[in-house]
Amino acid sequence: MIIAVDGPTASGKGTIAKALALHFGLPHLDTGLLYRAVGRQVFLNGTDPDISGDALAACDFPETLLGDPELRTEVTGGLASRVSIHPAVRKALYERQRAFATQPGGAVLDGRDIGTVIAPEADVKLFVTASVAARAQRRYREILERGGTATPSSIEDDLQRRDHRDTARKDAPLKPATDALILDTTALGREEAIAAAITAAQNALAA
């Protein structure tokens, strides 16, 4: 059984994907982390995230980089969104994601193009979304909890920039699969969003 969870940054898709994995006893892959590792590696190489060849070279990042807390920062998120535009980067990361999705027993993957490109045959496709203001507020709280500093308006601007880049790119843009269930978490708390996702997945599996 493959469960695809797509959606924009800070929509709650990561939390929901982890909870679905736990509920259904499946392994989970946060595919954004792979793009973040490429973005971080470009930075470490001192090269240009907007040049396809530089970004492609950074796809060779060491596995240990996936555990680097720097991957979670807003700066790395911005770099990830820039390197993810290049078709060569998406192609380089495809097999790894595809192999995870098709492993025996199934898997849960979250990202932007899981239901459209990586696993179009997924048994359950959720597109998790929320208003920009609600997402910025959540991201703001997360940053404060980690001891960082930011303002809600700077986060909102950044989210809007990243949404635009993710939805406007030609290759695998962020958009719901035609058969995805849309889950808007704007007015939902964490537990409510998780419960709604589990119900949606159970309904999709029973259909």
Using CB under 6 A as the criterion, what x/- string covers residues 33-62 for binding ligand C5P?
--xx--------------------------
129 binds ligand C5P (CB under 6 A): no
Q: How far is the CB of 90 from ligand C5P (least distance, A)?
A: 7
> Which range of residues in 46-54, 110-118, 144-152, 184-192 is near ligand C5P by CB under 6 A?
110-118
81 binds ligand C5P (CB under 6 A): yes
CA dist 144 and 148 (Å) reads 5
> Which range of residues in 16-24, 106-114, 121-129, 179-187 is near ligand C5P by CB under 6 A?
106-114
> Which range of residues in 30-38, 42-50, 51-59, 140-148 is near ligand C5P by CB under 6 A?
30-38
Q: Closer to ligand C5P by CB, 106 or 111: give it.
A: 111
Closest by CA to 10, choosing from 77, 101, 100, is 77
> Which range of residues in 77-85, 100-108, 138-146, 175-183 is near ligand C5P by CB under 6 A?
77-85
Please say whether the beta carbons of 79 and 40 come within 8 A: yes
List 112, 125, 135, 138, residue binding ligand C5P (CB under 6 A): 112
The helix (run of H) or strand (run of E) holding residue 122 is none
Q: How far is the CB of 35 from ligand C5P (least distance, A)?
A: 3
Please say whether the beta carbons of 78 and 163 come within 8 A: no
- Please, which residues bridge with residue 28 across strands? 108
- Please, which residues bridge with residue 127 across strands? 6, 182
CA dist 204 and 1 (Å) reads 12
Residue whose entry in the numeric block shows the structure tokens 């406007």: 168
Contacts (Cβ under 8 Å, ≥6 apart) of 139: 9, 10, 74, 155, 159
Residues in contact with ligand C5P by the rule CB under 6 A: 9, 31-32, 35-36, 77, 80-81, 84, 111-113, 162, 166
